[in-house]
Amino acid sequence: MKKILNKLIRNEQGQALIFALIMLAVGSLIVVPLLAFMSTGLMAAQTVEEKMNELYAADAGVEDAVHKILYTSVFDSLGVNDSYPYTLTDPVNGITPVDITVTKLSLIADFLGDDEYKIGQPHEEWVTFDAPAIVETTDEYVEYSCSIDFEYTGVGNRQIITIGAFFAYFTGDEDLIEGPLEVFYTPVITSDFLEAGSPEKVLGSGSFAFIWRWPKTPPRGPLFNPGNTGSLSFKFRILDPIWRYDLYYIWATFKEQDISYITNNPGNYNWQIEAVAGDTTVRSFILGGVGQVGILTWEVNP
């Protein structure tokens, strides 16, 4: 029996090595993908950190432009649709440079194309606008009334192309806007030959407008000759009794002429700001001017 046991013990020699080799093989199967996973995680974290720094740097570029609009006259000489590019050369979150482009837009840039909007002096001598006024407030809505009056005393004639009313700030749903309601036309302003869909309700960036459009070619829109008068009045409702406009802009454009308008703050414009840091771009549209701005949109890599 002793000889048999000794033989069995001698036959177990080398089994520890086999077990160690098995454990080494299993460990290799686990450790190699684990190291690869850790490496991927480290690279992902570095990428996220880099992108985050770029995002913060681009955000800082937008904020720098907003500060300039609010407190400086850097952009005063810009015409509508003109751009002002500049660069932040000091590192921002370790990112340099940060390239910024500020573009000055009209208040009605969301609604009228370049061919409809012409820069010039208002026809103050013959186009007058009444500021939008509240005519009714209930538990369900607030109702406003607007009117535009024309009394042409110039030479030659003037053809109306568009009439519109813009209101900010509005960030609600289009269904909250009812109008234009109770629209009245008097000679020479008429609903004849209005383009299809006019008057239309248009939502923009944090704002809305009502627009009447007439064709530029026959059958043409209202044509004023010396001594002619006309008016357009309308109402609209917002299904939010506490809503009040912050800024309005009422206009009329003329074929081959300029634009007449009234606004409660003529120093306000739409501004498009783009800031680029590395591969990240932040684009923002803001409304305002010196002393007052409001952010309408803020987009990353638009």
CA distance 50 to 45: 9
57-92 pLDDT, tens per residue? Answer: 999 999 999 999 989 888 888 887 889 999 998 888
User: What mean pLDDT is reported for the chain?
Assistant: 82
Q: Give burial (CB, 10 Å; 0-12/13-18/19+) of 201.
A: middle
> Are 24 and 66 in a shared domain?
yes
Mean pLDDT of the region 217-221: 84
pLDDT in tens, 14-41: 566 666 667 666 666 676 676 666 666 6
On whether both 139 and 238 belong to a single domain, the answer is yes
Is there a domain that residue 117 lies in? no
Same structural domain, 79 and 198: no
CB 129 within 8 A of CB 270: no
Residue 118 lies in a domain: no
| Residues 134 and 258 grouped into a single domain | yes
Spatial contact of 248 and 167, defined as CB atoms under 8 Å apart? yes
Q: Please, which residues have CB within 8 angstroms of residue 4's CB and are 6 or more apart in sequence?
A: none
Is there a single domain that holds both residue 192 and residue 167? yes
**Is residue 100 one of the residues assigned to a domain?**
yes
User: Structural domain of residue 102, as residue ranges?
Assistant: 1-107+268-302
Same domain, 93 and 163: no
Which range has highest mean pLDDT (51-65, 262-276, 282-296)?
A: 51-65
**Are 144 and 40 in the same domain?**
no
Are residues 61 and 137 both part of a single domain?
no
CA-wise closest residue to 108 among 300, 248, 292, 274: 248
pLDDT of residue 117: 56
- Tally the domains of the chain: 2
Which whole number is the average pLDDT over 223-233?
92
Residue 213 lies in a domain: yes
Q: Binning pLDDT at 50, 70 and 90, where does residue 182 land?
A: very high
Residue 91 covered by a domain: yes
* CATH code, domain with 159: 2.60.40
Q: Are residues 255 and 282 in the same domain?
A: no
CA–CA gap between residue 195 and residue 212 (Å, rounded):
8
C-alpha span between 54 and 42 (Å, rounded) = 18
